[in-house]
Amino acid sequence: MLRRYFLIAVMVMVLAMASPVFANTLAGTPVRFRETGHTLAYGFREFYDRQGGLPILGMPLTEVFVEEGRPVQYFERARLEWHGELGTTMAGHLGRWAAEGHASDPAFAPVASAPAEASYVAETGHTLGGVFRGFWEAHGGLDAFGYPISEPFTEPSDQDGRSYTVQYFERARFELHPENAPRYQILLGHLGRQYLAAHPAPAWAVAPVDTPAQAWESVRPSHLRIPRIGVDTDIVSAGFSLGQWDVPRYTAVHYWPISGYPGTPGNIVIAGHVGYHGEIFNKLPNVATGDQIYVTAGGGERRYLVREVLTLRPEDTWVLAPTGDEVLTLITCVPIGVYTHRLVVRAYPA
């Protein structure tokens, strides 16, 4: 009965949202690449599949780890970044990094206009045309590759030493391989491999893992406890979708793709059941400001202090929105047996 009431309340809440979030169920299933021994899951798998997968981004070379304050994962041709403050995955600016040594090259100097068959990109002063333009438009455009930061020119490849026509973008380097079949004539350079060679990732992040279940293991929350009121529960990861807010019976749940991760910017949204004997959040209504909450992630505990305890209507969806700072948001339904409102606990890093 609780589950039915909870889902009804959440469906009302999500229907009221201006821009509902949909979790790709397939992306929520971690996979392991046998060739590299690394995993792919959640927001990164969703981005990977949407942007063209293996031919575009290559295989994963690391597990997810925190770099410069946000979860990242390196692939042969890209770095994926989780921006919790925006609630979205982006490709990192590896193209700009790779172009750092080319400042004096004529191809990187801005141009005044574009030829008739190309578009002029005023943001960077470069052009986009021909087969590179077709590939850019067909495989994600600005979100996947960013703006062009050079004109096309000839450059030797780090992979095989041969020279190819290339063009640099903020997030990638396009290479023309006319010797390949038509669908593979445009390839992305291995900027992920190049960056890792110059800036090694932590040894544990590069080490292969044994099972897909280890995906995001170093950053996702796995346990939550509130000592003063006796809350002590494991946490699993699950998707947040219209009408499908899945709440496991015996654990709390951390929702992607709307959530942040401990130790990084964003809103860490965790929900749990109340109502039946022994349910994980039965005692959550007893929480008070100043209480300490401990969240385990990557084998270590992070401490938070409760600042707000709110009772809200289902349509008060602002509590799910991304935040610029790290915030922990715990949610359950109240009052027990009626479930018309949501109890929301907001806590901040101690």
The pLDDT value recorded for residue 20 is 53
The pLDDT value recorded for residue 18 is 38
* Owning domain of residue 341: 2-23+216-349
Strands 292-297 and 266-271, sheet pairing: unpaired
Q: Per-residue confidence at 1, pLDDT binned at 50, 70, 90?
A: very low
Q: Per-residue confidence at 12, pLDDT binned at 50, 70, 90?
A: very low
The pLDDT value recorded for residue 15 is 30
Whether 92 and 49 share a structural domain:
yes
CATH code for position 306: 2.40.260.10
Q: 103: exposed, middle or buried (C-beta count within 10 Å: 0-12, 13-18, 19+)?
A: exposed
Whether 153 and 302 share a structural domain:
no
102: tokens are 């080319």
The pLDDT value recorded for residue 118 is 92
Domain count, the chain: 2
User: Are the CB atoms for 292 and 303 separated by under 8 Å?
Assistant: yes
Whether 245 and 174 share a structural domain:
no
Q: What's phi and psi for 341, nearest 5 deg?
A: -125, 175
Model pTM score: 0.89
Q: What is the pLDDT of residues 95-154, one digit of tens each?
A: 999 999 898 999 999 999 998 889 999 999 999 999 999 999 998 899 889 999 999 999
101: left (phi > 0), else alpha (psi -120 to 50), else beta? alpha
Q: Which of 51, 194, 2, 247 shows the shortest CA–CA distance to 255?
A: 247
Q: Where are the beta strands (DSSP E) in 63-219?
A: 65-67, 70-75, 78-83, 88-91, 118-121, 126-129, 153-156, 163-168, 173-176, 186-188
What one-character DSSP code corresponds to residue 202?
P
